[in-house]
Amino acid sequence: MKQHYSIFTLARNAVSYHENWTEAWRSPDPKPAYDVIIVGGGGHGLATAYYLAKEHGITNVAVIEKGWLGGGNTGRNTTIVRSNYLWDESAHLYEHSLKLWEGLSQDLNYNVMFSQRGLLSTAHTVHDMQALRRRVYAIQLNGIDSEILDREQVAAYCPILDCSPNARYPVFGASLQRRGGVARHDAVAWGYARGADARGIDIIQNCEVTGFKIENGKVVGVETTRGSIGARKVGVVVAGHCGVLAGMAGFRLPIESHPLQAMVSEPIKPVLNCVVMSGQVHVYVSQSDKGELVFGAGIDTYNSYSQYGSPPVVENMLNALTELFPIFGRLRFLRQWAGIVDTCPDASPIIGKTPIENLFFNCGWGTGGFKATPGSGHVFAHTIATGEPHKFAAPFALERFTTGYLIDEHGAAGVAH
Amino acid sequence: MSQVNRLPHGGRIDRSKPLRFVFDGRAYDGYQGDTLASALLANGIVLVGRSFKYHRPRGILSAGAEEPNALIQLGQGARSEPNIRATQIELYDGLIAESQNRWPSLTTDFGAVNSLFHRVFPSGFYYKTFMWPKSFWMKYEHFIRRMAGLGKCPTEPDPDRYDKLHAHADALIVGAGPAGLAAALAAGRAGARVILVDEQQEMGGSLLSDRHAAIDGKPGAQWVADALAELRSMPEVTLLPRTVAFAYYDHNLVSLMERVTDHLSPTSPEALSQPRQRLWRVRAKDVILATGAIERPMVYADNDRPGCMLASAAQTYVNRYGAAPGKRAVIMANNDSAYQVALDLVDAGVSVAAIVDVRESADGELAAAARARGIDILVNHAIVSVAGKLAVREVEVRRMAGDGKSVTSDGRTISCDMVLSSGGWQPSVHLFSQSRGKLTWNQDILAFVPDRLLPGQNNHSVGAARGVFSLSGCLVDGHAAGTAAATAAGYTQSAGNTPVANAQPAHGPMRALWLVSSTAPLGHKAKHFIDYQNDVTAADVALAHREGYRSVEHLKRYTTMGMATDQGKTSNVNALAMMADLRGISVPEVGTTTFRPPYTPVTIGAFSGIDKGDFLDPIRKTPLHSWHEQHGAPFETVGQWHRAWYYPKPGETMHDAVNREVKAVRTSVGIVDASTLGKIDIQGPDAAWFLNMVYTNAWTKLEPGRCRYGLMLGEDGMVMDDGVTSRITENHFHMTTTTGGAARVMAWLEDWLQCEWPDKKVYLTSVTEQWAVLGISGPMARKLLSEVAPDMALDDQSFPHLSFRDGVVAGVKCRVYRITFTGEATYEINMAPSYAMHVWRALMQAGEKYGITPYGTEAMHVLRAEKGFIIVGQETDGTTTPQDLGMDWIVSKQKPDFLGKRSLQRADTKRPDRKHLVGLLTEDPNEVLPEGAQIVAELKDKPPMEMVGHVTSSYYSPNCGRSIAMALVRNGRNRMGETLHLPYEGKVVKAKVTEPKFYDPEGARING
Amino acid sequence: MLLIPCPFCGKRDEHEFTYAREAHIARPTNGEQMSDAEWAQYLFMRKNPKGVHYERWMHAKGCRRYFNVARDTVTHEIYAVYEMGQPAPAIERENGR
């Protein structure tokens, strides 16, 4: 039984100098075989394992991770959570996720610090405003919270945002999703890992998949750096490497991998109390609980698996930041990094079956995967457990690239994040 | 009290130039050449800040970029800056500094209440609590956020300006200590183009704090001065002091930030006449990393008391700044370098109460010298406690047990006001690591050193940066690297001789003791700080290990170790090594975290330079922009263009003005500036073939002199652009594109021509800015044109719709296209831009009698919507096919191929019930739907409800006397006459589905 | 920031160029005969390798010519640049990269 986390256990452990805390998760050696193997120990993979156990009672599961848990995009993103998507398919999926976020800390008994501080998405041209209205009206009719603010309301909501009509791209208005916000990214991976482990799932770090065992078009296990492991079903959730894994299984994906950069400033006292995103000036920013401004923008243009990124992107991002927030000009940026995002032609993910039987992929989340973590894990667990896609996952099948039924969120997303 | 701890002589400060500064509201004196830190110490100020989490009182730990504690809010008002290291602030007269993260004052800080509850605040405590009740997290967070953060953001925009510069170098040398100077001299003498940067105000590095070094027979400081003089005399050498190399990118690109005026009073004329900082991008053939090494503090109980300092820092303050950090020091070390510090302190008149050496013996040359000076040396001893809350008062030392993991009862207390420690030196491998080089562990010096370079990068670490700590080693290294860089770049002149250092005392072996035991179990009584700024203690590392956060990244993220503004410069190795001990593996097996840029924090505003405000993105203006401005037109942003939106007359609202403009076009004549249209000149024998491939319709039979509308698809079958293209001659076409799509279309066409059809003879030129375009439209357009172009035949026979003619308009050679976007007879008059204003004015003058009316983009949109003409990007969104738009008529069935053709046959794209472009007429003719309004077929009481489409365009049409709208509606063409619902903003509007043509559906007006 | 050797202009900073994605994807001339799945392979499916990537770049702020680059997507080392229409050169990498 896991130790419960609460102020009381914290206080009790304080008395014993915190020497009696136990491991958040075990580090077992891999068993010869599992019912389900999840490849990828990021937020999505761990969430998938957690919901396999919690919702479907499947606990003979291993999550195998080539490095350390949450070491991919889970630990590299700007932690924005929202569900204000244009198309119904996306709105349903991301809202499903947002609802799970809303009870996640309690469900996991791990504080993921989901802060619903409000997410402002600014419009800077007449055309921007039209697109914004289209999106907000659609979101509202999907039963999701979203509202339109005019320039004055934006200025009142976020006073440090430059709403001057003389700006190069003046703020015309914004959409606001009050339920949107940010969360503590690492905690999501750790919380799911702890929850999955408590339900008997093996979490195996430093174990890299080197190939799939496929017999008669059916996956029967994986080859890893820690030996061969059998499995009835395999779910692959490896942002930044799904193309490589698909290659091992002998098929291609409509995916290209690019670095997405992010940065933080030095920590300062609270100055920004919401998330602000601008597609036109091209930056998104929030302030972490620690006080750092956390910001990012678009992907590096060329295919890359380097988690470093190119300096022109940094320059543009910082430029955009000071354009929207002139008072940030004298602050200093502290750290820059990049994650590798797998982008689909329609900026929507791929969830579901593959040409190989019992091999499932969940990938292509592009720049927006973090917010989807609980929902993605939830629908993917259903898909793996039942063999059929969850209703919210069904539209995101790989098949859509053949039929042409794309879910093109490019225009609607406004800005990558 | 004036500079009580200023030494009577010595140091590199200029005692003839006293400076006045204010810290926390109180004035102090210092000298030119001081840093804020050295000046504070000289004034006996040891308490300078509060820690992040526990609000512990903190002093100055270091003398450089690695400082974790002494963070200052510098300056005031719009020029106020948070979190600046006192150790890096050059003192100027009138400097105003304030301590941070304390309230109401540094000595009485209410936040220190956290310290009382520290027991319940171990690493990661927030993951375990604040979960109940569920709705309270936002309240907890509010409180947590206020406790966190360090300094304050300015409340006004930065008034200073910044500069950017690009440079190339044969050798970029980072660090101007002995190794860097030797490298610069060698490369410079050989003739290479050298850029030498150093983050400090004065070049010379460790030689500036070293009283014993001599090179080539000269005292170290003299050698530095001579070397710099020689380098300054070399035309190809650039010296950049006060410049930090903060980021190392692909293919040997290094970013530098030069602090041009930060050492000056910010409002002095000298500061105001220059950019504050300058961002350099240097592409170097070779980068020589002479970045030195950073001393590690030892991890002992309560090692954060104000007065606890790195040994080398004390040496620097004494030798370089003539400021004593205290009166009486206790020094603890695991190596010999601290002995030199003790000797220097004693020489300067500062008392050294004891050297506490954790090694079992200290027999080296330096230890002997210290003994000879009467310094008490306690080997195999450790400091087990430090007393003094706001300043060190005394320490307790104990003899250690054999394994170093505990202490014996044998010991005593020593009174002192500073505790100096040296846990060894970690080479500054930040830039090497950023260049994606691999590190390796050197067990002799207990440090990570550079190992393998990433292919495609070219740098060389020299001297202390690669773990070579001896002065002669640094000089040899630097000289060799400088010579090699010059040789590799093709310079053959002599690099001169390797500088020769005097004999330096030898250093004995170190002891790896990553945690100095105390009398109580770890975490029980005292705190052993590892990461000072983020308040991460040794007990936190142990907790992380206990709970399974054992990989280096988990350790870092769980404890926040190394994530403060100093990026763990003094703490990372201590934490990793402690984790290695806990896991029973070696330090390199634990690994390191990735070194991320920047090396030290850099000003955000410097990245904008002047590229902000109107320079953020170029503003494109038409040749008639000033006319529009003079006539009161507001502008609409379309891509980078500013287009005249409408021309309000006095007292008119936008609605009034647009109605007037729209009516004028239908009743008389309007004039529009259409110069922003994208234009591409297409020539070559295969031009017609090419158009056949890129447009959906057929082009081969178009006659010269005629024009045709074309629709362009992506390979996915979705509409990407449209426009009218004209055949000038057999092999010469003039294509127009949408305003926003011009660049994209140009790139698209070039891509296909160069990559897929390189054998085809087609040549493209963007001519958007070579042609200004004035459109006159309306029943009187022809008459008006005939008056200003008397030589042009304008009858329908000679100049029919969809043709063009060259002629003279208002005395100017023009090309006139008869094409329409309004449905009225329209002439688009193209000319060289410099004549545009003349022709426009001539038309305005001649048209006065017809009431010629300039109209903007809004009226243009209404006019085309009345006719049901689409705008790509408005009626389409990248998911729209020609069939969706009801434009099947323009998709050739005969052509064997064109871009996008095959994709139209896919299962989803050929579905008959896709979203179709239709018209919508609201029940209330005065109700104008918002563009973007969503359409519902089956209305429900409340959301969610299923949407079947959205409004793409919507206007009030004065010519129809009612509102009109276009919409994409699922299966819309089979819903004609159906009433749909548009719920938005708390109401529901009903509208009927119609054909998307509202005015003159037969097209009768096209001939005027 | 990449330093890209344009075959026509010489070495230039990456920001002068436009990336034009995977190279050597020939447009099928028999699209009408292809199945939707085959067409999707051409339209969307990409190699996206971790290692040598054969890709196209256009010198947008220079000669505006397209050319091919063989580049490592992990190290960003550029092994070869070659003009359009030329076959992809085989790249042999040293071990341990």
- Taking only the tens place, the pLDDT of each residue in A86-131 is 999 999 999 999 999 999 999 999 999 999 999 999 999 999 999 9
Distance (Å) from the C-alpha of residue C30 to the closest C-alpha of chain A?
A: 17
Domains and CATH numbers, chain C: 50-90 (3.30.2270.10)
Contacts across the A-C interface (CB distance below 8 Å): 69
The alpha carbon of residue B434 and the mean position of all alpha carbons in its chain are separated, in whole angstroms, by: 16
**What per-residue string of b and e applies to B50-88 under the rule 16 or more CB within 10 Å gives b?**
bbbbbbbbbbbbbbbbbbbbbbbbbbeebbbbbbbbbbb
The answer to whether the CB atoms of C3 and B252 lie below 8 A apart is: yes
Q: Please compute the mean of the pLDDT values over residues B837-857 and round it to a whole number.
A: 98
> By the CB < 8 Å criterion, does C11 face chain A?
no
Q: How many residues does chain A have?
A: 417
Residue reference for tokens 């969610």: B944
C97 has pLDDT over 50? no
Mean pLDDT on B766-776: 98
Chain B interface includes C63 (CB < 8 A): no
Which of A39, A167, A217, A65 is closest to B612 using CA atoms?
Answer: A167
Contact between A252 and C45 using a beta-carbon 8 Å cutoff: yes
| The predicted structure's pLDDT at residue B113 | 83
Test mutation, A209, A299, A304, chain C, max C CBs within 10 A? A304
Strands (E), B290-434: 293-295, 308-310, 328-333, 351-357, 377-379, 381-387, 394-400, 407-415, 418-422, 425-427
Which residues of chain B neighbour A11 with C-beta distances below 8 Å?
120
Please name the residue of chain C whose CA is at the shortest distance from the CA of residue B248.
Answer: C1
| Chain B residues close to C97, C-beta within 8 Å | 455
- Which residues of chain A make contact with C74, given a CB cutoff of 8 A? 304-306
Q: Does C86 touch chain A (CB under 8 A)?
A: no
A311 touches chain C (CB under 8 A): yes
End-to-end C-alpha distance for chain B, whole angstroms: 94
Q: How far apart are CA A273 and CA B616, in angstroms?
A: 26
State the best of B755, B763, B892, B910 to mutate against chain C, taking most chain C CBs within 10 Å.
B755
Give the span between the Cα atoms of B658 and B540, in whole angstroms.
68
Using an 8 Å Cβ cutoff, are A283 and A321 in contact?
A: yes
pLDDT of residue B592: 87
Nearest to B501, CA basis, from B535, B528, B468: B468
CB within 8 Å: C85 and B907? no
- Å between C45 CA and nearest CA of chain A: 4
Domains of chain B, earliest start first: 1-156 (3.10.20.440), 162-293+427-488 (3.50.50.60), 296-424+507-590 (3.50.50.60), 678-766 (3.30.70.1400), 904-1007 (2.40.30.110)
Q: pLDDT class for C94, splitting at 50, 70, 90?
A: low
Q: Which two tokens stand for residue B784?
A: 């008006």
Per-residue confidence at A41, pLDDT binned at 50, 70, 90? Answer: very high
Instruction: Place B349 in a pLDDT band, splitting at 50, 70 and 90.
Output: very high
Based on its alpha-carbon atoms, the radius of gyration of chain C, rounded to whole angstroms, reads 15
Read off the pLDDT of residues B538-582 as tens digits, 9 standing for 90 and up: 999 999 999 999 999 999 999 999 999 999 999 999 999 999 999
d(C-alpha A350, C-alpha A184), whole Å: 25
State how far the Cα of B737 lies from the Cα of B744, in Å rounded to an integer. 10
Residue whose entry in the numeric block shows the structure tokens 């980072």: B174
Strand C3-6 relative to strand B602-603, pairing: unpaired
- Give the 3-state secondary structure of residue B634: coil
Q: Of all residues in chain B, what percent carry a pLDDT higher than 70?
A: 100
Helix count and strand count (H, E) for chain B: 24, 50
Contact B365, B375 (CB under 8 A): no
**Does the pLDDT of residue B884 top 50, yes or no?**
yes
- Which residue in B255, B281, B902, B905 has the most chain C C-beta atoms within 10 A of its own C-beta, making it the best mutation to test that interface? B902
Partner C contacted by A319 (CB < 8 A): no
Write out the residues of chain B at the interface with chain C, using a CB-CB cutoff of 8 A. 249-253, 281, 283, 436, 454-456, 715-716, 747, 750-751, 754-756, 758, 896-897, 901-903, 905-907
Site from C48, C72, C76, C97 to mutate, A interface, most A CB atoms within 10 angstroms: C48
Q: What is the per-residue pLDDT for B726?
A: 98
DSSP structure class, residue B755: I
In one-letter notation, the amino acid at residue B60 is I
Asked if residue A132 lies in contact with residue A171, where contact means CB atoms within 8 angstroms, the answer is no
C-beta atoms of C2 and A310 within 8 A:
yes
Q: What is the pLDDT of residue A229?
A: 98
Region of poorest pLDDT, from A1-10, B360-369, B592-601, B784-793:
A1-10
Chain B contact present for C51, CB below 8 A: no
Given a contact cutoff of 8 angstroms between Cβ atoms, the answer to whether B643 and B636 are in contact is yes
Contacts of A404 in chain C (CB under 8 A): 36
Q: Which residue has the tokens 């070194």?
A: B595
- Token code pair at residue A96: 């499903």
Check residue B805 and give its pLDDT: 98
Q: What is the mean pLDDT of residues B225-236?
A: 98
pLDDT at res. A1? 56
Cβ proximity of A73 and A160 under 8 Å: no
**A255·C48 Cβ contact <8 A:** yes
DSSP at C53: E
Chain mean position to CA B554: 26
Residue B92 pLDDT > 60:
yes
User: What mean pLDDT comes out for the span C74-91?
Assistant: 96
Tokens of B111: 């936040």
Interface contact A255, partner C, CB < 8 A: yes
Contacts by B846-850, CB closer than 8 A, 24 or more apart? B846/B784, B846/B787, B846/B788, B847/B669, B847/B671, B847/B776, B847/B780, B847/B784, B850/B668, B850/B669, B850/B780, B850/B783, B850/B784
**Contact criterion met (CB < 8 Å) for B454 and C75:** yes
User: Is B723 in contact with B736 (CB distance < 8 Å)?
Assistant: yes
Size of interface A-B (CB pairs under 8 A): 318
How does pLDDT run across B965-1002, given as a tens digit for each residue? 999 999 999 999 999 999 999 999 999 999 999 999 99
Residue B308 has pLDDT above 50, yes or no: yes
Report the C-alpha gap between A393 and A376 in whole angstroms.
8
Does the beta carbon of A331 lie under 8 angstroms from any beta carbon of chain B?
Answer: yes
Task: Please judge whether B619 and A113 are an interchain contact, meaning their C-beta atoms are less than 8 angstroms apart.
Answer: no
pLDDT attached to residue C93: 66
pLDDT in tens, B165-183: 999 999 999 999 999 999 9
**What is the token pair recorded at A169?**
């791209």
Of C22, C37, C50, the CB nearest to A402: C37
Interface test with A, best of B102, B602, B607, B716 (most A CBs within 10 A): B607
CA distance B544 to B551: 10
B906 to C29: CB separation less than 8 angstroms, yes or no: no
Instruction: Indicate if the pLDDT at residue B732 is higher than 50.
Output: yes
SS3 A205: coil
Q: What are the pLDDT digits (tens) for B679-700?
A: 999 999 999 999 999 999 999 9
Task: Quote the pLDDT of residue A417.
Answer: 43
Q: What is the pLDDT of residue A413?
A: 43
Summary mean pLDDT of chain B: 96
Instruction: Name residue, tokens 């009740």.
Output: B133
Tell me the nearest-neighbour CA distance from B637 into chain A, angstroms.
Answer: 6
Contact: C77, B249; criterion CB under 8 Å? no
Q: In angstroms, rounded to a whole number, what is the distance separating the alpha carbons of residues A305 and B845?
A: 63
As a three-state string, the secondary structure of B801-868 is: CCEEEEEEECCEEEEEEECCCCCCCEEEEEECHHHHHHHHHHHHHHHHHHCCEECCHHHHHHHHHHHC
| Burial B948-985, CB ≥16 within 10 A → b, else e | bbbbbbbbbbbbbebbbbbbbbbbbbebeeeebbbbbe
pLDDT of amino acid A416? 41
pLDDT band per the 50, 70, 90 thresholds, residue A411:
low
- Judge: C43–B456 Cβ closer than 8 Å, yes or no: no
% of chain B at pLDDT higher than 90: 95
What residues have CB less than 8 Å from A8, skipping those under 6 apart? none
- Span B574-585, pLDDT tens digits: 999 999 999 999
Determine contact, residues B764/B746, Cβ cutoff 8 Å. yes
Amino acid (1-letter code) at residue C5:
P
Whether A401 and C15 lie within 8 Å, measured CB to CB: no
Positions of E strands within A305-386:
332-343, 350-353, 359-363
pLDDT of residue B277: 98
Continuous H helices in C1-97: 36-43
